[in-house]
Amino acid sequence: MQKLVAIKGMNDILPPDSARWEWLEDKVRNLMARYAYRNIRTPIVEPTPLFVRGLGEVTDIVEKEMYSFEDRLNGEHLTLRPEATAGVVRAVAEHSMLYDGGKRLYYMGPMFRHERPQRGRYRQFHQIGAEALGFPGAEVDAELILMANALWRELGLRNVRLELNSLGQPQERQAHRAALIAFLEQHIDVLDEEARRRLHSNPLRILDTKNPAMQAVVEAAPRLIDFLGVQSLAHFDTVKSILTANGVAWTVNPRLVRGMDYYNLTVFEFVTDQLGSQGTICGGGRYDYLIEQIGGKPAPAVGWALGVERVLELLKEQESAVPTPVPDAYAVIPSAAALPVAVTTLERLRQLGVRVQMHAAPAGGEGMGSMKSQFKKADASGALWALIFGEDELARGSVVVKSLRDGAGAQSEHLLDALAEWAPTLQSPR
């Protein structure tokens, strides 16, 4: 029978790697709580029109990358979510979450795009994101950027730079768009096929091209920031001043754009040079027009999303220490006759907060296995202590606690009736 394997670009996350994911997620949860952001969980499958209307029909995501299908039962057009912001906004609008004021939300989960798998870029990938909805002020833009910057600090990431830009408001962007199209039409012979296709439908995306032959033209193209009015510039200046006051370095990148029309004012990316072409690990911006665009009442919003795989890849690249959880103790059980007392003791220890791994009988073997093999597994588990449930000790109502890490193997005997008194000595720092 043919062996079944995972779909290309959709990866299993196995121990011990899964521990790195849990560590990152715990860091994020703690950070979000300190900034008063609350968790939201939306469906993986959404109506296809949500993304067509929210992202735009001429974006690469909608045109090429979405996993879309027709529901066989009712004919609905459905899509595996390629990103989470549209779903969060849909949920906020559907449940009238802004009726009593703005909301600060965050999410974690898998997204899906049909593209060529490469380092840090997969068909099933994972994002963590934060969205602040109902707040128009530049201070909230800055808050979100500061929060992401704080996450890099807590993770121990280095050499991550912040790039900023402002997209202004729609009328300012329209004036720039007209000037940009006119300029690019004068250099039509330099544009590649993709740029020509986007020239009138999504010209801002041309500024983000990686084609070396187009770089000179792109550098000389009209800059959006030169079309911004007083209010847009003031908003941008406030963001920059708050970041500077908090010691966060930034650079303005006039080529930093978004292909979706609902973006306005602040856009930003955190970028590294250590992941090749997939250098952006987190990106975001203000999207004051999306809620109305998908049918909700108009409301301002701003947010960001980070790529979990890319962040973990960067941690690995920088050889940052990511702790792997290990048990405090490993239970060595010489005889099956000791199992009732041993298992009961381990359950009591776990209730007291001690992490304990129980030895299990080997497959195809007789009994619980030799003491030598059990101690070998105890050592490999990373536990600090071995709990030895020997026949003589159990007859005295006690268990032997042996150190696995001090080199001398110091051991002592403890009464099971006094377990609550000595259990805390087994716990390693969390």
Domains of the chain: 17-168+228-317 (3.30.930.10), 329-426 (3.40.50.800)
Mean pLDDT of the chain: 89
> Can you tell me the distance from the alpha carbon of 287 to that of 85, in angstroms, rounded to the nearest whole number?
10
Per the DSSP assignment, residues forming a β-bridge with 357 are: 330
Tokens 């949500």 belong to which residue?
50
Q: Which one-letter DSSP state was computed for residue 194?
A: H
Tokens 């303005």 belong to which residue?
252
Q: What distances in angstroms separate CA 345 from CA 34, 67, 305, one per listed residue?
A: 37, 50, 45
Long-range contacts of 420-427 (CB under 8 A, 24+ apart): 420/352, 423/348, 423/349, 423/352, 423/353, 423/354, 424/352, 425/401, 426/328, 426/329, 426/349, 426/354, 426/384, 426/385, 426/401, 427/328, 427/353, 427/354, 427/355
Handedness of CA 283, 289, 295, 299 (dihedral sign): positive
Per the DSSP assignment, residues forming a β-bridge with 57 are: none
Helix (H) / strand (E) containing 245? helix 230-245
> Can you tell me the distance from the alpha carbon of 353 to that of 68, in angstroms, rounded to the nearest whole number?
46
pLDDT score for 60: 60
Instruction: Identify whether the C-beta of residue 195 lies closer than 8 Å to the C-beta of residue 284.
Output: no
> Can you tell me the distance from the alpha carbon of 260 to that of 290, in angstroms, rounded to the nearest whole number?
10
- Token pair listed for 227: 């079309």
> Can you tell me the distance from the alpha carbon of 350 to that of 160, in angstroms, rounded to the nearest whole number?
40
CB under 8 Å to 132, separation ≥6 — which residues? Answer: 37, 102, 103, 104, 105, 140, 143, 144, 301, 302, 303
Summarised one tens digit per residue, pLDDT across range 206-238 is: 887 788 888 888 888 888 889 999 999 999 999
Beta strands 264-271 and 280-286 are antiparallel
pLDDT score for 234: 96
Handedness of CA 137, 272, 310, 249 (dihedral sign): negative
3-class DSSP assignment, residue 377: helix
pLDDT score for 20: 92
Summarised one tens digit per residue, pLDDT across range 8-44 is: 888 999 988 899 999 999 999 999 999 999 999 999 9
Tell me the pTM.
Answer: 0.87
Summarised one tens digit per residue, pLDDT across range 122-131 is: 899 999 999 9
pLDDT score for 300: 96
Asked if omega into 16 is within 30° of 0 (cis), the reply is yes
pLDDT score for 401: 93
pLDDT score for 259: 65
